[in-house]
Amino acid sequence: MVVNGLDRMVISVKSMEESLAFYRDKMGMTIVGECDLGEEVLQKLWSLSPEIKGKSIFLQKGDRPVLIQLVEFSPKSKGFIRKPGEPNYDYGIYDIGFRVKNMEKAYKELSETYEFINPPKTYQAPWTDVTVKEVVMITPDQLRNAFMQSGTVPMEEDFGLVTTNAHFVKSVDEANAFYKDVLGFQIVFDKIMPAGLVNSILGIPEACEPRISMAFKPGTKAPVPEFIECGCEGRYIHECANPTDIGMFSVAYEVENLEEVLKKINTSQYSQLCDIIETSIPTVGTIKSVLVEGPAKIKHEIYSRLR
């Protein structure tokens, strides 16, 4: 059973300076820790060769417990996990979602520096009376950042909390089962979108009727993992990318009992990718951790605290 929901998103960066200019200076996130990575993480957890070194900076926004972990490897990769010009619907991690106070202002400000998939789109889903404005930006690391404005959410800052982490998956049923049966989430949303409603935001063909589900841990403030199945045949980006390629390469979840979760994983279709290691994370402390391959071949770090 997960403790807090989504705890950490790990991004290999092209340039630490460029990524901090976005997450710290634009999004208003706070640096809560930084470190050089040891062989426990680099070689044992991530299975990298001994000559590869890395340093991490951890950022947090407000009282939301999720961390964004920026990793700069040396030597640096010239490749990307989500390669420029290739389909958005390839299976794997897609975006991070942020709330914004004023969509027009945010879009105007950010478009001076960054590329966008779509201009701001206003829509209302048939099952709700809430009107939403949404836009998706491409970061220097070729990661997508979704920005959403909803009239029902009051905000003080221009850029608000992290709200979602979207994955394109081959099967929503598979993703739902993993998050519900293995990690103990509740599936709080699962619907087929009308053709054209959010297609330009996702960068998928207008004729598609994507199915979208969302997982949530009740009682937490963690962002919502979101799973998108659009019916287009994609490739598994995490299967094609090199370990140090630039982009988001794993997500992390704290669980109450690591051994119980590993029993479920090892008796399922999913894979445990390494032995349990001991390391530490800012704001969390010392942990025992393991990497597993979950739905869409996405690497999930599963950990529990050493008490």
pLDDT tens string 205-238: 999 999 999 999 998 889 999 999 999 999 999 9
CATH number at residue 10: 3.10.180.10
Confidence of residue 156 (pLDDT cuts 50, 70, 90): confident
Tell me if 83 is assigned to some domain: no
Is pTM, for the whole model, over 0.75?
A: yes
pLDDT in tens, 58-86: 999 988 789 999 999 999 898 999 999 89
Chain CA centroid to CA 203, Å:
17
Confidence of residue 127 (pLDDT cuts 50, 70, 90): confident
Whether 96 and 199 share a structural domain: yes
Mean pLDDT over residues 263-268, rounded?
A: 92
User: What does the pLDDT read at residue 231?
Assistant: 93
User: What does the pLDDT read at residue 79?
Assistant: 94
User: What does the pLDDT read at residue 1?
Assistant: 82
Whether 252 and 214 share a structural domain: no
User: What does the pLDDT read at residue 243?
Assistant: 85
Mean pLDDT for all residues in the chain: 94
Whether 222 and 250 share a structural domain: no
Whether 104 and 161 share a structural domain: yes
Whether 251 and 300 share a structural domain: yes
Tell me if 32 is assigned to some domain: yes
Whether 126 and 52 share a structural domain: no
Tell me if 85 is assigned to some domain: no
Domain termination site, one of 229, 259, 283:
229
User: What does the pLDDT read at residue 151?
Assistant: 73
Tell me if 158 is assigned to some domain: yes
User: What does the pLDDT read at residue 65?
Assistant: 81
Whether 73 and 108 share a structural domain: no
Question: Does residue 153 have a pLDDT over 80?
Answer: no
Whether 100 and 223 share a structural domain: yes
pLDDT in tens, 105-115: 999 999 999 99
Mean pLDDT over residues 101-128, rounded?
A: 93
Range of the domain at 188: 92-229
Q: Give the total number of structural domains in the chain.
A: 2
Whether 224 and 272 share a structural domain: no
Whether 215 and 98 share a structural domain: yes
User: What does the pLDDT read at residue 54?
Assistant: 97
Tell me if 84 is assigned to some domain: no
Whether 262 and 215 share a structural domain: no
Tell me if 234 is assigned to some domain: no
User: What does the pLDDT read at residue 263?
Assistant: 94
Tell me if 239 is assigned to some domain: no
Domain termination site, one of 229, 262, 280:
229
Tell me if 235 is assigned to some domain: no
Whether 57 and 143 share a structural domain: no
Question: Does residue 155 have a pLDDT over 90?
Answer: no
Domain termination site, one of 165, 200, 229:
229
C-alpha distances (whole Å) from 58 to each of 68, 85, 98, 224, 279 are 6, 29, 17, 20, 15
